[in-house]
Structure 1
Amino acid sequence: MSADAYTIHPIAHICTDFKDKFGIPRQSGLVPELTGRIVFEPEYRDPNALVGLEGYSHLWLIWQFSTVAAEYAAGKSWRPTVRPPRLGGNVRRGVFATRSPYRPNALGLSCVELVGVDGGDLLVKGADLLDGTPIFDIKPYLPYVDAHPDARGGFTEQTAGYGLTVECAPELLTKVPKEKQAALLGVLQNDPRPGYQHDPQRVYTLDFGANKVRFTVAGKTLQVQEIL
């Protein structure tokens, strides 16, 4: 190991409704109804570490794109330029001008709402993480320094308001647990498709919790075809 290499260990992992990366919101907070449970590893499961946490409404999570890390371990390397999906998948930007998972250390950063503490676990909302994602650190969100209302959003400003109209028959939606229905609709509204796919005949399948959701997209309308 070189002198400038460091080893960090997960302190926790998160449980979410996403067993596959398809459908995960592209940013935290886009679908505030999404719920998650942060489960600490045994050596960090100390209630003293959470004293005072109830005074904060939001948290920063520092985590790893675990699927990308596995690709790196298999020989794949990071990319100096990437093609952001919201730009159609054809325009390249520097990796440090994006939040692409294909970064040198495959680290992610998410801001989530803290709902509460349950038996030593943290209940959060608005997470954009795959189920089982390792978390390296948790820090409180400080609105007086972390919020910058006048900040510029770069190329994302042209796509920030993008969304689809979701059509789903009520009898289909009832197949999803009632407490998760709003979260599912939010995920679909944010358009889970890769930015370069626009075939109105293509049927997509989204794994969401215990359900499989099949849908098509024509123009700016997403039509749910089936929920299993």
Structure 2
Amino acid sequence: MSAADEERMPTAADVDADAAAESLLLRPIGVVRSALGTRVEAARQPAAAPDEAARIELHAGHHFEHALEDLAGWEYIWVLFWFHLNSGWRPKVLPPRSNSGRKGVFATRAPHRPNPLGLSAVRLERVEGLVLHIRGGDMLDGTPVLDIKPYVPYTDAHPQAGSGWLAGAVGAPADPLPAWTVGFTPLAEEQVAWVEQHAGLALRERITATLRLGPQPHPYRRIRRQGDGLVLAVKAWRIHGSVEGHHVEVHRLATGYRPAELRAAGAAEGVRAIHRAFLARWPDGED
């Protein structure tokens, strides 16, 4: 065997690396608990919903209480997590801020990745035992957490860095700071408070977080034009509003159910019962 052939022969380290590349064993250290149950409810980036409260519950019996020592002094933390609702990946995706077609998934934050890993910087409010109380997350309820690291401003922040294709995209460079204001009429305030009380849904927070990014319809956003106004869908609720300048005014709420659906057998139970009660209070509350 020539020296050249020997140079091309894989070493033990190469074999180990190939084996490692085929499969890796990851064990979640905890789980996210939040009010976000579905993907359409979550912000597209953590900074888009800075007040979204959640908690990370670490698993007991692994000495994680010791691993959490000294973390409370950090204002922000990195959370590495698993996109557990994804079943496949896409080489090209259409990000919410793209106005020039699909992008390579590695040039985006999209969840449709070969390895569905997510990384979010969130504000750490406090640590209580094995529970981390956070704000500004975009993680769904039940999300497996793989690791936690402190956010170190002088190494992790690069405010002058280029933004790639985002530099010419809609909404940039205003992102991640919202450029739109959101208001509610007295009727909308009353209806939102009623839904929050009876449905246990943080509706006002979700409406505000979505509309602060702008009222433009997009394939990934549940907003549609209706005449001179707009309609935003949050679960089965429809939020009617209008736009003036860079301000969105929410006028009223409506149910997204058709009358026949609410009259159907079994419709008196669960979520539909709440919508029937809503219509009993506001008879004009049909979409």
TM norm structure 1: 0.80
Change (3 A) 1:27 1:10: same
Q: Distance in 2 between matches of 1:122 and 1:109?
A: 16
User: Please, which of 73, 77, 83 is the counterpart of residue 59 of structure 1?
Assistant: 77
Deviation at 1:54, TM superposition (A): 1.3
- Find out whether 1:82 has 2:93 as its counterpart: yes
Q: Which has the higher contact order (CA 8 A, sep 6+)?
A: 1
Match of 2:160 in 1: 150
Change (3 A) 1:39 1:224: farther
Q: Distance in 1 between matches of 2:105 and 2:147?
A: 23
* Kept in 2: contact 1:25–1:190 (CA 8 A): no
Match of 1:75 in 2: none
User: Please, which of 81, 101, 113 is the counterpart of residue 103 of structure 1?
Assistant: 113
Q: Distance in 1 between matches of 2:166 and 2:251?
A: 28
User: Please, which of 39, 48, 61 is the counterpart of residue 30 of structure 1?
Assistant: 48
- Find out whether 1:135 has 2:145 as its counterpart: yes
Aligned length: 213
Q: Deviations over 1:157-215 (max 9, x none)?
A: 332336555343221333337xx6773322442359862376323854324xxxx6422
Q: Secondary structure at the match of 1:15?
A: strand
- Find out whether 1:171 has 2:206 as its counterpart: no
User: Please, which of 234, 243, 265 is the counterpart of residue 206 of structure 1?
Assistant: 234
Unpaired runs of at least 5, structure 1: 73-77
Q: Which has the higher helix share?
A: 2
Deviation at 1:24, TM superposition (A): 1.0
* Kept in 1: contact 2:65–2:129 (CA 8 A): no
Change (3 A) 1:9 1:17: same
Match of 1:20 in 2: 38
Q: Distance in 2 between matches of 1:192 and 1:132?
A: 29
The 10-residue stretch of structure 1 (16-25 or 148-157) with the greater mean CA deviation from structure 2: 148-157
Q: Distance in 2 between matches of 1:43 and 1:191?
A: 45
Deviation at 1:87, TM superposition (A): 2.0
Change (3 A) 1:193 1:121: farther
* Kept in 2: contact 1:63–1:136 (CA 8 A): yes
Q: Secondary structure at the match of 1:110?
A: strand
Q: Deviations over 1:79-111 (max 9, x none)?
A: 2211112225x7011111101111110111100
Q: Distance in 1 between matches of 2:95 and 2:143?
A: 22
Unpaired runs of at least 5, structure 2: 1-17, 255-273, 275-287
Change (3 A) 1:215 1:152: same
Q: Secondary structure at the match of 2:54?
A: strand
Q: Deviations over 1:43-87 (max 9, x none)?
A: 34632111100121100011111111xx23xxxxx2221111222
Q: Distance in 2 between matches of 1:52 and 1:189?
A: 35
* Kept in 1: contact 2:242–2:251 (CA 8 A): no
TM norm structure 2: 0.65
The 10-residue stretch of structure 1 (214-223 or 99-108) with the greater mean CA deviation from structure 2: 214-223
* Kept in 2: contact 1:64–1:107 (CA 8 A): yes
User: Please, which of 21, 27, 32 is the counterpart of residue 9 of structure 1?
Assistant: 27
> What code does the residue aligned with 2:33 have?
C
What is the RMSD computed on CA atoms of the aligned residues?
Answer: 2.8
